Structure 1
Amino acid sequence: MTEVDSPLDAASQQVRRAAAEKQLRPSIAGFFDEATNTVSYVVHDPKSCEAAIIDSVLDYEAASGRTSHGSADRIIEYVNTNNLKVTWLIETHAHADHISAAPYLQEKLGGKLAIGAEIIRVQDVFGKLFNAGTDFERDGSQFDHLFKDGETFALGSIEGIALHVPGHTPADMAFIIGDAAFVGDTIFMPDFGTARADFPGGDARELFHSIRRLLSLPDETRLFLCHDYKAPGRDEYAWETTVGQQRRENIHVKDGVSEEDFVKMRTERDKTLAMPNLIMPSVQVNIRGGRLPEPEDNGVSYIKIPVNAV
């Protein structure tokens, strides 16, 4: 970014307005899926009941290849019980550790399916890896909307703005809604640190700059994380923190940690990490907007597993 970061400035002003006026803050419900350590969110404007669902989970049993909807149905029950109107189904990025339930939720609840505009880069890389062929469009057309950096939106009277935060993947976005930021896989709880940056298109240096961009928001900004793995010594899952807490306490990227030290740490640490258990089915489906590959002539959809390719 240039020295004058207009989207960040707009997001900061939005957070300060919401922090000062209760009616500009969203109501937030988190739904934790322990099988994938993923947190999905329903975010809504209490006045209009307009809502967004962020980073939903489709249950997937790898051994059998069966999908089910228990996690998504919990969200549907919450939305219906609270008489919410879903206007957005948002993905912070193309997840590598769980399959999105967005198409199922869209069928049941409506709303526009959205992701960051740089998804086209991810589609290009993984379209080649999975040999998806010319029938697989690499233009983001599987989604209803592609958010650009600094783009604004709203849930009723509550303001929202999208920020591009690459590094974990090229397409990662953070969505600031009122005084709350949904930051995907950029950063974790302070005692656990930060996301990996070794997937295709990932970059530790970019991740550092993206995190510092997020941590330039006001200290009171509430941060809602996409995952938690319980750091050593902590017995409870947690997924809400603040910019101020992260700047003071994050073990990987708190104030005072240099870019070079972070890149060295992140690069060395990533070399020790195994691939996520569900990376092959997850990415293959999520680059299609959460839809399974087209059925073959026997009516069955298949997940490809590239052998000795990654």
Structure 2
Amino acid sequence: MALCIHSFFHQQSATICYLVACQASKQAMLIDAPADFDLANGELSFSTAHTIINYINDNAFSLQWIVETHTHADHISAASYLQQKLQPSHPCQLGIGEGICLVQQYFSQLYALEMPCNGAPFDHLFTDQSQFQLGEYTVEVLATAGHTLDSVCYLIAGNAFVGDTFFMPDSGTARCDFPGGSAIQLYESLQRILALPDETQLWMCHDYQPAGRKLAHQTTVAEQRAHNIHMQGNKAHYIRSREQRDATLSVPKLLHPAIQMNIRAGQLPAVNTNKQRFLTIPLTVLL
């Protein structure tokens, strides 16, 4: 039986979340699930997550894995919320690349968070080329650092869920100016993806619809190699142009709320003595 791939588009962050399922076993994994967040009001909600839950239940899937391609800076993860809502009837193990430990170390210091920097609360920290089963299919994890230290892609049955490495060919590739980011590393990671068979289907994590074009989130290795606007020169050209472009980019609007929660798989901050939950925004004073 065929592999089922269903996408959910999160308009607020231009994120595409994927539900990937083995039709024979009904086992499924969820990739990059977003929560909904109103920054001005500090309101966190989960309507997108409930749309996903309804789809899982309507199709009688058993959610085995909730995985992230990296620690996102543009949306808050719904991973922990979904795990809580779906267990114990769904195993729902949380997974991310092993580089999360380094990401936790940096940002826990920045935000003065008291937390172990050992990957918790994620259940599995994937190493490069590690594998796990999804029904009749084997999922391989490919380390693709550069955008972040914990970036990974998930390969299954001729499909690659590439996170923030490639965008659609007319949008290029991801930025590398976050802590631990590296244009050199990202170039090497992109080459690993381009070394996959030409017909490999690549599924994007974001689509910003340049020039107002229709939403698109699926392409191939061959199409990326031939047409990606950032990959038409050599390595030195890529690194130079990537770093120059990154220097002009604004900070993502939700970076501080998203990072503080996403290094903990989207877990809520602890309640303080006033029975409130708070997120920190570092202040830069320009005089």
Kept in 1, the 8 Å contact 2:6–2:19? The answer is yes
Provide the TM-score with structure 2 as the length reference: 0.96
**Which of 140, 165, 178 lines up with 2:144 in the alignment?**
165
Alignment of 1:213-228 (within 5 A): 213-228=192-207
Deviation at 1:300, TM superposition (A): 1.3
Give the Cα–Cα distance (whole angstroms) in 1 for the partners of residues 275 and 121 of structure 2. 21
Give the Cα–Cα distance (whole angstroms) in 1 for the partners of residues 243 and 139 of structure 2. 33
Provide the TM-score with structure 1 as the length reference: 0.89
**Which of 27, 44, 63 lines up with 1:86 in the alignment?**
63
Kept in 2, the 8 Å contact 1:118–1:170? The answer is yes
Give the Cα–Cα distance (whole angstroms) in 1 for the partners of residues 46 and 269 of structure 2. 18
Percent identity between the two aligned chains? 43
Write the letter of the residue equivalent to 1:77: N
Deviation at 1:159, TM superposition (A): 1.3
Give the Cα–Cα distance (whole angstroms) in 1 for the partners of residues 57 and 268 of structure 2. 26
Secondary structure at the counterpart of residue 76 of structure 1:
helix
Secondary structure at the counterpart of residue 154 of structure 2:
strand
Bigger mean CA offset, 101-110 vs 51-60 = 101-110
Extract structure 1 runs of 4+ deviating beyond 3 A. Answer: none
Give the Cα–Cα distance (whole angstroms) in 1 for the partners of residues 125 and 27 of structure 2. 20
Secondary structure at the counterpart of residue 42 of structure 1:
strand
Kept in 2, the 8 Å contact 1:196–1:270? The answer is yes
Residue of structure 1 in register with 2:30 after alignment: 53
Give the Cα–Cα distance (whole angstroms) in 1 for the partners of residues 3 and 228 of structure 2. 25
Secondary structure at the counterpart of residue 281 of structure 1:
helix
Residue of structure 1 in register with 2:251 after alignment: 275
Give the Cα–Cα distance (whole angstroms) in 2 for the partners of residues 223 and 308 of structure 1. 39
Residue of structure 2 in register with 1:31 after alignment: 8
Q: After superposition, what is the alpha-carbon deviation per residue over 1:106-128, rounded to whole angstroms, capped at 9, x for unaligned?
A: 12223101101110110011111
Alignment gaps of 5+ in structure 2: none
Deviation at 1:140, TM superposition (A): 0.4
Deviation at 1:286, TM superposition (A): 0.2
Kept in 2, the 8 Å contact 1:204–1:267? The answer is yes
Give the Cα–Cα distance (whole angstroms) in 2 for the partners of residues 31 and 190 of structure 1. 21
Residue of structure 1 in register with 2:284 after alignment: 308
Write the letter of the residue equivalent to 1:307: L
Kept in 1, the 8 Å contact 2:81–2:267? The answer is no
Please say if 1:70 is aligned against 2:50. Answer: no
Q: After superposition, what is the alpha-carbon deviation per residue over 1:5-35, rounded to whole angstroms, capped at 9, x for unaligned?
A: xxxxxxxxxxxxxxxxxx4x52100100111
Kept in 2, the 8 Å contact 1:26–1:177? The answer is no
Residue of structure 2 in register with 1:117 after alignment: 98
Please say if 1:96 is aligned against 2:73. Answer: yes
Aligned length: 281
Secondary structure at the counterpart of residue 160 of structure 1:
strand
Alignment gaps of 5+ in structure 1: 1-22
Write the letter of the residue equivalent to 1:131: A
Give the Cα–Cα distance (whole angstroms) in 2 for the partners of residues 284 and 76 of structure 1. 25
Residue of structure 2 in register with 1:200 after alignment: 179
Alignment of 1:177-196 (within 5 A): 177-196=156-175
